[in-house]
Amino acid sequence: MSLARKKMGKSDLLFLLFSCLALSSAYPVADNGLSRIKLKKMKLDEDNWIASWLESEAGESLRSYIMKNRFLGRLRDSSEDIDIVALKNYLDAQYYGEIGIGTPPQNFTVIFDSGSSNLWVPSSKCILSVACYFHSRYKSGQSRTYQKNGKSASIKYGTGAVSGFFSNDDAIVGDLVVKNQEFIEATREPSVTFMVAKFDGILGLGFQEISVGNAVPIWYNMMNQGLVKEPVFSFWLNRNAQEEEGGEIVFGGVDPKHFKGKHTYVPVTQKGYWQFDMGDVLIGGEPTGYCADGCSAIADSGTSLLAGPTSVIAMINQAIGASGVVSQECKAVVTQYGQVIMDLLQNEVHPKKACSQIGLCTFDGTRGISMGIESVVGERSSRSSGVHSDAMCSACEMAVVWMRHQLQQNLTQERILDYVDQLCDRVPSPMGQSAVECGSLSSMPSVSFSIGDRVFELSPDEYILKVGEGPAAQCISGFMALDIPPPRGPLWILGDLFMGRYHTVFDYGNLRVGFAEAA
């Protein structure tokens, strides 16, 4: 899975919402070195019970989850002489399709995930995990091309670890037959999470640098075995919920029908995830200043929403009217230290040093870090003292970001303190949920991201997930908090909400990622 899945809490109950999805079959054909994986959209009756479910305790788990559940099926499109693997789309949040492993092929539903690098499916030797009995399981004895490997493997997620052992066999993705692919036979899965999930496994499209066991990713073998026209794959995700076609993945190139103009390309800055440098985040066209010195971002087909630092997510929540959970530490910092922080910033103290100067953080030479460890050492206080200090440091750093932004607007100190106090009410809870009024979409601002020499804008219709119809409809913010400290962060994860608006090219040959307006 992607970084978001590894770092954040997961919803074990999420998959209950999707348990009624059905699978179909496909009959792929070749297309001049391009392997097209068609994403077909399943038309669903989004009944009001879904919205009611979202109000329940289980629904809270959904709102806290950066959804990474792509389910697969395959479908023949007789109008085109191309290879098609149909990925179903549920509520613009999930796209899924089918692959085969072995000779003759054994079919599995998998997530196509650019945020991970391993291929894994359940094993017939999985007998202790209940979840395995609810999914297709790979049977090595039924494949003529199976080769024993046996090396152990474990992939950790927030809900637990998927573990098992490596095997080798032929893998079929559309019309492409990848020979001797190393993959994981999962013999243990977290029961609740995977028991009701529609997908069987995951097909990672990231770099080998993050591959468990240093296994060669299936995408690498497609290139090494000369199966694709160019070392490029691309995503088009159809966000029109009224259309059956869900989108398309092209292995070996791009489909010019699905984008407008030219792609803006940025180089991959760190191999592993498809990571690149990103500029500032804008709300309603106005820079937040948070990424003025630069941020990193990941293009992640395995994440449905957008994740970013809590400081900016709170600013976005305030601008779009999303309800958050009051942070007492945030309120305390504003009340006790707000004026002092503002004075320091006006006296041109470096923002990264402000919180250390008032004693809530310590400065390590490049950034402020929590004093939680120091507050416990040599004291008889409980561990909760350290946790409290962690929260105060984080709250102070957020306040600095907010005040710096407002000072640039030349507002009065009174208005700045009032604004920052309001932002404390918009800080996402630890579970990350945030809802908005569906009737307010027309008055919400755009949210934009500076990438390369271009600003990529998202409208409210594009960053809000609407579930259900009428009075029972629920609207959920597509922005979720994820704090990754330097040097890896600050980090943004641009998932399907972004990739649906912008056709995305993953250019392995030139180590770059490209975005163009989707068509």
No. of H helices and E strands in the chain?
13, 28
Contact 97, 203 (CB under 8 A): no
How high is the pLDDT of residue 66?
36
Q: Which residues contact 480 (CB under 8 A, 6 or more apart)?
A: 8, 64, 66, 305, 306, 307, 308, 313, 428, 432, 434
In the chain, % of residues over pLDDT 70: 72
**Terminal alpha carbon distance of the chain:** 28
Q: 197 or 360: which carries more pLDDT confidence? A: 360
How remote is the C-alpha of 165 from its chain's centroid? 27
- At what angle are helices 413-424 and 383-407 packed, to 10 degrees? 140
**Which whole-number Å values give the CA distances from 329 to 202, 335, 338, 360, in the listed order?**
39, 10, 12, 11
User: pLDDT tens digit string along 118-157?
Assistant: 999 999 999 988 889 999 999 999 999 999 999 999 987 6
CA–CA gap between residue 95 and residue 223 (Å, rounded): 24
Q: Calculate the average pLDDT of the chain.
A: 77
Which pLDDT band, with edges at 50, 70 and 90, does 486 fall under?
confident
How high is the pLDDT of residue 434?
72
Q: 69 or 235: which carries more pLDDT confidence? A: 235
* Mean pLDDT within 442-447: 96
| Burial of residue 196 (number of CB atoms within 10 Å: 0-12, 13-18, 19+) | middle
Catalytic residue, from 83, 175, 280, 300: name it. 300
What is the reported pTM? 0.72
Beta partners for residue 476, in sequence order: 435, 465
pLDDT at 329 > cutoff 70: yes
Catalytic residue, from 113, 170, 175, 496: name it. 113
Q: 157 or 58: which carries more pLDDT confidence? A: 157
User: pLDDT tens digit string along 61-82?
Assistant: 333 333 333 222 222 232 232 2
Contact 457, 518 (CB under 8 A): no
Enumerate domains of the chain plus CATH numbers. Answer: 35-58+85-237 (2.40.70.10), 259-324+428-515 (2.40.70.10), 336-371+388-425 (no CATH)
User: pLDDT tens digit string along 217-228?
Assistant: 999 999 999 999
Torsion sign across C-alpha atoms 267, 268, 274, 279: negative
User: pLDDT tens digit string along 243-279?
Assistant: 767 788 899 999 999 999 999 999 999 999 999 999 9
Q: Which residues contact 367 (CB under 8 A, 6 or more apart)?
A: 352, 485, 486
pLDDT at 451 > cutoff 60: yes
Answer yes or no: 175 catalytic: no
Answer yes or no: 113 catalytic: yes
